[in-house]
Amino acid sequence: MQGNILTVVAVYLLTCMIWGSTWLAIKIGLESIPPIISAGYRFTLASLLILGVISLRKIKIQTDRTAIRLYLLMGFFSFVFPYGLIYWAEQFVPSGLTAVIYAIYPFSIAIFSFFMIPSEKIGINKIIGIIISFIGLFIIFSENFTGNLDNYIVGMIVVILSAIMQSMVAVSIKKYGHHLHPLSMNFFPMLIAGIILTVYGFIIESHLPIKYDYKAFLSVFYLALFGSLITFTSYYWLIKRVNIIIVSLITFITPILALLLGWFFYREELSPHQLTGCILVLIGLLTAIFGNIRKVAFKQI
């Protein structure tokens, strides 16, 4: 059991670190490729890489009725609609405000879990931890809330819908996807997303310039291999083994890592109130995870 806990902690931290770096990779890639096309390339390449790993390891792709339903659910409601909507919304909503609004994800996970998986323990410590972390994230990006919020209302609703869709899928995977291998679980959904987003991108972004330079290739490859294959596989691996609310708290960690990477690589300013917000987020995370990890957070594998 001790070894299992250490493995889960290592995978959790790795997922946080990589996902935190994807914002920087996306930013670099957008200097060369329009957003929807870039997302389409990312998921198409990721699906091909997953297929390669599946073939090498001779992993069976489940094709039962439940699996196919989950593949379609994930393809459209974890990738196509959420990513398409968020990329669209970020044309109108400041990125900081988007990060804060999307942080309703853990709350949504808790609500879906309460109704769909009663055995998943929510616990007052997790609710308090989520609230503290949300306040910290709000403080971090509060300076981004410029202008009249009424101008962002449609985009804000779109971001909320995206978070709700992805949380619903995550809880559905937790409940119905026990028999699915984390790699095969991602192949069809990412392939669906890659094809649809690429075609859609070339339709609506055909007027935008595309430069196939080293930034474009490195960004797409990094996002496909690390930001998609490794992270999403690790994420669904964690969902099958860890309390799903604890897994959802990754949503609070990745913006902090993105902030630190932006400060380190792009010399973006890191203000005192942002540091205060980071500390609050960490306090919230510790509060949510606090307790007997063996009994509260982890289940026997």
What range does the domain containing 185 cover?
A: 2-296
CA distance 100 to 281: 12
Q: What is the pLDDT of residue 154?
A: 81
Question: Across residues 115-138, what is the average pLDDT?
Answer: 84
CA distance 248 to 106: 5
Q: What is the pLDDT of residue 188?
A: 93
Question: Across residues 263-278, what is the average pLDDT?
Answer: 76
Of the listed ranges 162-166, 253-257, 293-297, the one predicted with least confidence: 293-297
Q: Which residue has the higher pLDDT, 179 or 1?
A: 179
**pLDDT at residue 292 is higher than 50:** no
The answer to the question of residue 68 being in a domain is yes
**pLDDT at residue 235 is higher than 50:** yes
The answer to the question of residue 144 being in a domain is yes
Q: Is 242 helix (H, G, I), strand (E, B) or coil?
A: strand
**pLDDT at residue 176 is higher than 80:** yes
Question: Across residues 163-191, what is the average pLDDT?
Answer: 91
Of the listed ranges 1-10, 37-46, 280-289, the one predicted with least confidence: 1-10
CA distance 66 to 76: 16
Q: What is the CA radius of gyration of the chain?
A: 19
**pLDDT at residue 95 is higher than 70:** no
- Reported for 61-70, long-range contacts at CB under 8 A and 24+ positions apart, including other chains, are 61/181, 61/184, 61/187, 61/188, 62/179, 62/180, 62/181, 62/184, 64/179, 66/176, 66/177, 66/179, 67/179, 67/180, 70/172, 70/173, 70/176, 70/177, 70/180, 70/185
CA distance 224 to 170: 20
Q: Is 163 within 8 Å of 108 (Cβ atoms)?
A: yes
Question: Which of the four pLDDT bands, split at 50, 70 and 90, describes residue 299?
Answer: very low
**pLDDT at residue 201 is higher than 70:** yes
**pLDDT at residue 291 is higher than 70:** no
Q: What is the pLDDT of residue 295?
A: 47
Counting residues of the chain whose pLDDT is more than 70, the rounded percentage is: 88
Q: Is the pTM of this model over 0.85?
A: no
The answer to the question of residue 29 being in a domain is yes
Of the listed ranges 113-117, 181-185, 285-289, the one predicted with least confidence: 285-289
Counting residues of the chain whose pLDDT is more than 90, the rounded percentage is: 32
**pLDDT at residue 41 is higher than 90:** yes
Question: Which of the four pLDDT bands, split at 50, 70 and 90, describes residue 50?
Answer: very high
Question: Across residues 272-281, what is the average pLDDT?
Answer: 84
The answer to the question of residue 74 being in a domain is yes
State how far the alpha carbon of 285 is from the alpha carbons of 99, 128, 187, in Å: 17, 9, 31
Q: What is the pLDDT of residue 166?
A: 92
Question: Which of the four pLDDT bands, split at 50, 70 and 90, describes residue 264?
Answer: confident
Structural domain count, the chain: 1
The residues facing 298 across adjacent strands are 242
Q: What is the pLDDT of residue 30?
A: 81
Question: Across residues 155-170, what is the average pLDDT?
Answer: 89
**pLDDT at residue 139 is higher than 90:** no
Q: What is the pLDDT of residue 51?
A: 94
The answer to the question of residue 75 being in a domain is yes
The residues facing 225 across adjacent strands are none
The answer to the question of residue 200 being in a domain is yes
The answer to the question of residue 301 being in a domain is no
